[in-house]
Structure 1
Amino acid sequence: MERLLVLVRHGQSEWNLKNLFTGWKDPGLTEQGVTEAHKAGQQLRDLKLTFDIAFTSVLSRAQRTLDIMLEELGQTGLETLKDQALNERDYGDLTGMNKDQAREEFGEEQVHIWRRSYDVPPPGGESLKMTAERVLPYYKSEILPRVLEGKRTLVSAHGNSLRSLIMELENLSPEEILKRELGTGTPIVYRIDENGGVLSVQDLAD
């Protein structure tokens, strides 16, 4: 029995384009983001992958990316579960601020710490550690059981919620996961063993 899990970061959003901290705000996809979502669906179709269930966040950029991929796959109407556990990291007081502006206001080093440390949250927001503490229980209770049943599973989410999953799947340290860059609209295909371990990983950005 094949156990398949595919993770996709949403296509470029309007706030990605403007270099703003986005978090739980809900901007839509740019034209480029729509194109990236179509390409992701085409890549999955080229691999002849189909899915039994999908998961996404409650934010529209992830949901629209998923919808476009499913259109490309001819799987509109696929059973989809939406949960805020898969939302992007909450950037708190930085939300909506231009990243260059934030560096000017708080200093390059402080903003770097907020963005690239594992357990230091920005004011009023979440660290990656805190993000993982909501993502991983949801993964273990809702997503992984479906994968282990043999349901081919597609997850459309966000850079930091997906980093939390990748850290778990690939047994990465906090230092290693912080260096991991995830492109927008790029599928990562995992084949999973009966215990939830990774047999193989294929990053379609490569």
Structure 2
Amino acid sequence: MFNLILLRHGESEWNAKNLFTGWVDVRLSAKGEQEAKRGGELLKERGLLPDLVHTSVLRRAIATANLALDACDRHWIPVRRSWRLNERHYGALQGKDKAQTLATYGEEQFKLWRRSYDVPPPACLKDVVARMLPYWESAIVPDLRAGATVLVAAHGNSLRALVKHLDGISDSEIAELNIPTGIPLHYVLDVNLKPTKAGEYLDPAAAAEAIKAVANQGKK
């Protein structure tokens, strides 16, 4: 059996302002820093101590990984960075207020832009899956098969892409999947790298509340 931990970065400065972020390299908010630290504390409490980390090249994910590792006393382990784990690129929507975008274009278009599988701008989740899967196969899978407990500290959409692959979620159903910031999601994988059961948030109650908040982004 293999242990895989997924961790969406803590709240960023633009998350706090309800702005589309994408590839804009913003910092964590003070709340996001605390979320990242709490994520590391949860790993320590559960004894799920990572042997190495894969993260993106965006500072909010890198900072989350570093803060979580410090909190669980694993600051010394290898951290590998790849653009393939970056957030989805939102193009002209980057920097725009989600509530204003919702009010301007309506709920149907807003949800298509945010959560559909194959509707850009200019990238869609399908594109994220296409760039993420080669990294999964070439970099993360070998570490898992070597027996490492792997932490992937990344972004809402790059992690949605990975969860879609792991859980076999359909293109239509993926629109309903939201991943909260700063709460580790633990998978136990079998020899075929298939989940032995549904992924488990290490703080289920907090995750349930946070998932509702993510789903309601854009509404003030």
Q: TM-score, normalising length from structure 1? A: 0.94
- Summarize the alignment of residues 187-198 of structure 1 with structure 2, pairs less than 5 Å apart: 187-198=184-195
Q: Distance in 2 between matches of 1:58 and 1:69?
A: 17
What's the counterpart of residue 170 of structure 2?
173
Aligned residues: CA RMSD: 1.2
Cα shift readout 1:35-79 (whole Å, capped 9, x = no counterpart): 111111011000112122110000000001100110011111211
Q: TM-score, normalising length from structure 2? A: 0.88
Gaps of 5+ in 2: 205-220
Q: Distance in 1 between matches of 2:101 and 2:49?
A: 42
- Summarize the alignment of residues 80-99 of structure 1 with structure 2, pairs less than 5 Å apart: 80-99=79-98
SS at 1:26's partner residue? coil
What's the counterpart of residue 184 of structure 1?
181
What's the counterpart of residue 200 of structure 2?
202
The amino acid across from 1:28 in the alignment is R
Q: Between 106-115 and 70-79, report the one with greater CA deviation.
A: 106-115
- Summarize the alignment of residues 4-15 of structure 1 with structure 2, pairs less than 5 Å apart: 4-15=3-14
Q: Between 170-179 and 149-158, report the one with greater CA deviation.
A: 170-179
Equivalenced residues, count: 203
Quick one: percent identity of the two aligned structures?
A: 43
Q: Distance in 1 between matches of 2:171 and 2:142?
A: 25
Gaps of 5+ in 1: none
SS at 2:77's partner residue? coil
What's the counterpart of residue 136 of structure 1?
133
What's the counterpart of residue 32 of structure 1?
31
- 8 Å CA contact 2:116–2:174 kept in 1: the answer is no
The Cα shift of 1:149 comes to 1.6
